[in-house]
Amino acid sequence: MSTTTDTSPTRAGAASGRPRPGGAPPGTGRKPGRRDLAASLPWIGPALLLILGVVLFPAGVMFFNSTRDISMSGVDHGSVGLDNYVEVFTFPYFWPIFVRTIVWVVVVVAATVVISLGLAQILNKAFPGRRIVRLAVIIPWAASVVMTTMVVYYGLEPYFGIINKFLVDIGLVDTPEGYGWTRNPDTAFAWSIVVAVFVSLPFTTYTILAGLSTIPGDVLEAAKMDGAGPVRTYTGVVLPQLRGALSVAVLINIINVFNSLPILKVMTGSIPGYDADTIMTLIFKYIQNQHKVDVASALSVVAFLIVIVIVAVYVKVVKPMQEV
Amino acid sequence: MAVTAPAFETIAPPAASARKRRYTEDQVPIGRVLLRMLAGFIVLAVFILPYTIMFFGSVKTKSQIRSVDPTYLPTEWHWENYITMWSTPETPLPQNLISTIVISVFATVLVLGVAMPAAYYTARFRFPGRYVFLFLVIVTQMLQPAVLTSGLFRQFVSLGLIDTWAAMIFINAAFNLSFAVWIMHSFFAGVPKEIDEAAQIDGAGRLTVLFRIQLPLVWPGIVTAIVFTFVACWNEFAASLVILSTAGNQPLSVALTKFVGQYETSWHYVFGISIVAIIPVVVLFMIIEKRLVGGLTAGSVK
């Protein structure tokens, strides 16, 4: 998946979608020992400290808190065993929210990949102005997701929202004041999916573009010689070659979309009830609205395990880290 | 454009003229080029649409933007919104901007200072625990602040750092560290070891090698890591939402959500602020456009 050319110091293989710890030349011929460990600490120590202190330690705190009874003011009243987990799973909206979370991840990631494949085909062809189009595609990637979502939220407002006005003008909505998309949990959730796909497209498209650039020209040439049409070439030659790029893009999208908070927070946050929530927004409702850090921790642990299971299954089945 | 040039050359048949006559090679009829331009134009339009709406909204008056019969374009252009928006009552926006800048800058500096030595050392030397360290880095890449927020919240409460910039600087730095390490690691690993050895024979110490010899060579990788980290910190939302409770401490991403659900949202100000906040990071991203994906995939995941 090398996209860098001669000018870049990256080795071609270094960009092939997976770390290459073995690729680094060894420091010396002898076996590394304790002295080397001590010598390494000034270099890797600070990074290690940051990872342990701000990622792994809070993870431990979260696991611990998920078995505690913590009052709204933050006082720890001792262990409650698995009561917090019982509260999570017996919450009547939990299973609908669980299913909605899966729908959220699957629909957003699938739509993102399909659309990105098309976008990458367009952006991979030569035409005047392509560079400007490519730069435009970056914008939702760099721009704050909160801000992108807010402009859509405003556009969907009844009476004065510009998207509603457009839908009325072209006749898709027949009430003159527009439709209250963001007042209804189902439509607000559907629009959230649209926004989530939109902000996921740039990264996915660019990853596929990088994959396309690694397909050797003679392979396509050979397909053409053999009389394969464009469709046959695409499904038979291009798609299999994109496997590596696609599997990395899908994995990263799964993690990002599952953990996504701002879109649903803005689009559905002011709707009462739990009919547009995912696990991630429910965690924040526990923390912010109900001040139940203990139950939020239990739910976070559940979310954490779900991510790990999804990633593990995915890595096992698709093997994105494997050389293609 | 490093990303696109090889892409084009490998897809197109290797005609002698392919390089010079980019857009009108013999194989592509003009009709097809026009079709591609049309498709490209539609893509362009879709991707800038939300930000165009934002921009037009930012120069409307409050009554214009909340008008029951809205107009697509502003009827009058109220540039003074970009001045008056800073004193809107919903949230102290100047402080929110300062907060965003301080957190992003310090977190980026911290990431750079911590990730660069680690990336250099793991790319150059073998030591016991090297794989454990690299594995830890991958694991943190799978995690995001959102899923750990409740743990982070309790931890920073007990540290007495809750509701401080310092907390968010540490959190942003920690969660962007792994990505920076991977990018820089792959760039450092790409520099021939002989260059180091030659310098060392000439009497250069390890730090001198890193700063004088390596840095100029891996500079593109460093810039990519800096931009990615900075943009991620600039837009961070989930952890800030919980860690920072004082209005003045919050970054713009959190502060802006307070406008939603207001009785009369000042959308024109929301959009003015958004434009101001989006332009610098979009420009940064466009500068490293060539390396966007090479860097990403070199960074394994994310």
What ipTM was estimated for this complex? 0.84
pLDDT averaged over every residue in chain A: 84
Distance CA B116, CA B218 (A): 11
CA distances from B92 to B14, B78, B134, B282 (A): 59, 21, 42, 24
In this prediction, residue A63 carries a pLDDT of: 92
Residue A4 has its nearest CB partner, among B113, B138, B294, at B294
pLDDT per position as a tens digit, B206-232? 788 888 888 888 888 888 889 989 999
For A29, which residue in chain B has the nearest alpha carbon?
A: B126
Closest approach of A148 to chain B, Cα-based (Å): 7
In this prediction, residue B302 carries a pLDDT of: 31
Closest approach of B41 to chain A, Cα-based (Å): 7
A25 close contact with B: CB closer than 8 A: yes
Lowest model confidence (mean pLDDT) among A23-27, A198-202, B252-256: A23-27
Closest approach of A7 to chain B, Cα-based (Å): 9
CA neighbor of B296 nearest in space, from A314, A207, A163, A181: A207
Strand, coil or helix: B127: coil
A65: chain B residues, CB-CB within 8 Å: 150-151, 154
In this prediction, residue B8 carries a pLDDT of: 32
pLDDT per position as a tens digit, A101-149? 999 999 999 999 999 999 999 999 889 989 999 999 999 999 999 999 9
A93-318, what's its fold?
MetI-like fold (1.10.3720)
Lowest model confidence (mean pLDDT) among A250-259, B35-44, B113-122, B198-207: B198-207
| CB–CB contact B54 A177 (8 Å) | no
**Given pLDDT bands bounded at 50, 70 and 90, which one contains residue B4?**
very low
Residue B53 host element (H or E): helix B30-58
Identify from A2, A8, A124, A254 which residue to disrupt to test chain B contact, counting B C-beta atoms within 10 A and taking the largest count: A8
In a domain, B262, yes or no: yes
**Where does residue A35 rank: exposed (0-12), middle (13-18), buried (19+ CB within 10 A)?**
exposed
pLDDT per position as a tens digit, B192-207? 888 888 888 888 887 8
pLDDT averaged over every residue in chain B: 83
Distance CA B11, CA A198 (A): 27
Range of the domain at B278: 90-298
Residue B89: what are its φ and ψ, rounded to 5°? Answer: -75, -20
In this prediction, residue A225 carries a pLDDT of: 84
Give me the mean pLDDT over the B116-131 stretch. 87
In this prediction, residue A32 carries a pLDDT of: 61
Could you tell me the residue ranges of all domains in chain A? Answer: 93-318
Closest approach of B85 to chain A, Cα-based (Å): 16
A27: chain B residues, CB-CB within 8 Å: 124-127
CA geometry: angle B282, A141, B301, nearest 5 deg: 125
Closest approach of B144 to chain A, Cα-based (Å): 7
A312 close contact with B: CB closer than 8 A: no
Residue A77, amino acid: H
| CB–CB contact B153 A147 (8 Å) | no
Strand spans (E) along chain A: 68-70, 76-79
Closest approach of B272 to chain A, Cα-based (Å): 11
Identify from B28, B158, B257, B293 which residue to disrupt to test chain A contact, counting A C-beta atoms within 10 A and taking the largest count: B293
**Given pLDDT bands bounded at 50, 70 and 90, which one contains residue A222?**
confident
In a domain, B98, yes or no: yes
Is pLDDT above 80 for B11? no
**Given pLDDT bands bounded at 50, 70 and 90, which one contains residue B296?**
low
Residue pairs spanning A and B at CB distance below 8 A: 426
For residues B19, B21, B26 and B28, what is the CA-based torsion angle, rounded to 10 degrees?
A: 90
In a domain, B105, yes or no: yes
CA neighbor of A131 nearest in space, from B1, B296, B294: B1
Give me the mean pLDDT over the A69-95 stretch. 90
Count of structural domains, chain B? 1
Q: Can you give the CATH number for the domain in which B134 is found? A: 1.10.3720.10
Touching B: A residues 261-300, CB under 8 Å: 261-262, 265-266, 269-270, 280, 283-284, 287-288, 293, 296-297, 300
Distance CA B294, CA B59 (A): 38
In a domain, B257, yes or no: yes
| CB–CB contact B50 A152 (8 Å) | yes
**Given pLDDT bands bounded at 50, 70 and 90, which one contains residue A16?**
very low
| Percent of residues, chain B, with pLDDT higher than 70 | 88
Half-sphere exposure of B65 (CA within 13 A, CB side): 26
